[in-house]
Structure formats: C-alpha cells, structure tokens
Amino acid sequence: MDLSQRIAAALLEGERVRAEVVEGGENVEVADLLVSLSNLPQPELNGTRVIREPSDPAASIEAAREVFRSRGHPFFGIEIEVGRHPAVDAAVRAVGLRRVEAWPTMAVPHDAIPAATDPDGVEIRRATTSDLEAIRAVETATFGTPADIAKRFVGERMLEDERVRILVAWVDAEPVGEATGYLADGTVGIFGVGVVEGARRRGIGAALTARAATAFGHRADLVWLQPSDMARAMYERLGFRRVSDWEVWIA
C-alpha cells in the first residue's frame, strides 16, 4: 500500500469515527460508497466517500444521494481523491455535480513532529466534558458554525470516545483555540484547527496541531490533514508534505 492509498483508507475510517461520535450520526454503505452523516443541517458535516471503485459510478452516486434525501437533507456532497478512481472522476461531472472545494492531503511521520511546547501565556490541554461550552464557543468564533449546530456537533460522546482527542488552548482562563485528532488505522487525522482572531500569530495553531498529532502516543506512526490555503505554510513548517489532491463535488 503506497502512502496516498494508506491515507485514503485512514480518511475513510476517520469519517466513520466522526459520524459515530455525533449523537444521531450514522454511516451507510451503499453501492461501494460510504455515506457518513452527522444528520445536522450543515452540508460540510455530511458527506460521501469511495470505498472501492463502483462498477456503475453514476448509479452509485444516485444511490448515495437517495440516502441523503431519505434523511431529509436538501443537499448532497462527495469527496474524491483526484485520479484514484477515474470512473468516479468522470461520473461526478456526467451527473451534473459542481466542484466547490479542492485541497491537498498532507502527511508527516509521527516521530518527525516537533516537540509540542505551549506559547508564552498559553495553556493547551485535552478537553473534558466540563469544557464543552468553551469548545463550542471557539467553534462558533473561528469557523462561523451556528451556535445550535456547534452544540449538537460537539457533545459528550465525542469527548468520551477513545479514538478522539480534542485540545483546547487557553489564555487567562479564556478559550482561544481548538484542534481535534482522530485515531484511524494507526494514523492520526487532524481536523478543526482554529484560533480566535485576537489570539492569532502567536504560534497557537502550530502548537495545537503538534499536541493533537501526538495525543495518542505510539498508537500511530503517521499524521495527516487537509489544510486550507491560509494554513498550508504553517503545516509545512511542522514537516507536513503534500501526498494527494482531493475535491468536493456537490448538488
């Protein structure tokens, strides 16, 4: 298994975990695709990924869309690794989906992550259930997630699951940043690294990433993420390198 293939498998497993730790979330396998639903009315928290190349990709996409419809969602989305399943690449265009996002997947060996140190005046620690309101506040402030969605997305199940680690950064007892690590197939996938505007450019995002990457100790040997354009340089400084390219197509 090459590195991009390993990350694709880990991303698939990571999506399963992300759905399972949300109250009301579910995973549905249909026609060689995985539909991972938080079942929250937020498109980016519900998606579809390829398990294996379908014999009839257009029919598989329609079957996945029907799962969305049956749950009352007026949207549909599928994330694909560019070039891994050529027939799926062609099908998303043929069925009239629209590409809305593209990003690389970046990875670094676990033992190459720099030692995590908290910036001056900042404390980073693993979140507990007593930190739920703080996490939700950061989620809303950094990503614009509606407060009611953040409350339902970040719950006790997420904090209590041993496959998940949420790190929160604090300044003077105020939450200013967050990052989440998901343990999947011997790797750590990092999601949701965010720092509130007034606390940026202090190294908090990098410190949160390093802490999330190493939060599972030696249970993982590889760390990966899918960065925004704005954050890519920061991850490169931490040793992450591009492995593959991904796109999101929606209806």
CA-CA-CA-CA torsion sign (221, 226, 227, 233): positive
Which residue from 115, 26, 27, 34 is spatially nearest to 80, judged by alpha carbons?
A: 34
Are 32 and 122 within one domain? Answer: no
In whole angstroms, how large is the CA radius of gyration of the chain?
Answer: 18
pLDDT of residue 1: 67
pLDDT of residue 199: 96
Are 115 and 51 within one domain? Answer: no
Please give the model's pTM, rounded to 2 decimal places. 0.93
Are 20 and 138 within one domain? Answer: no
Each residue of 162-204: pLDDT tens digit? Answer: 999 999 999 999 999 999 999 999 999 999 999 999 999 999 9
Return mean pLDDT, the chain. 96
* Sequence-ordered alpha helix ranges (H) in 106-193: 132-143, 147-153, 156-160
Tell whether the model's pLDDT for residue 49 goes beyond 80: yes
Are 11 and 134 within one domain? Answer: no
Mean pLDDT over 201-230 rounds to 95
User: Is 118 exposed, middle or buried (CB count within 10 Å of its CB: 0-12, 13-18, 19+)?
Assistant: middle
> What is the domain-level CATH number for residue 92?
3.40.630.30
CA–CA separation, 186 vs 221, rounded Å?
A: 6
Mean pLDDT over 75-86 rounds to 97
Which residue from 224, 158, 138, 143 is spatially nearest to 189, judged by alpha carbons?
A: 224
Q: How many residues does the chain have?
A: 251
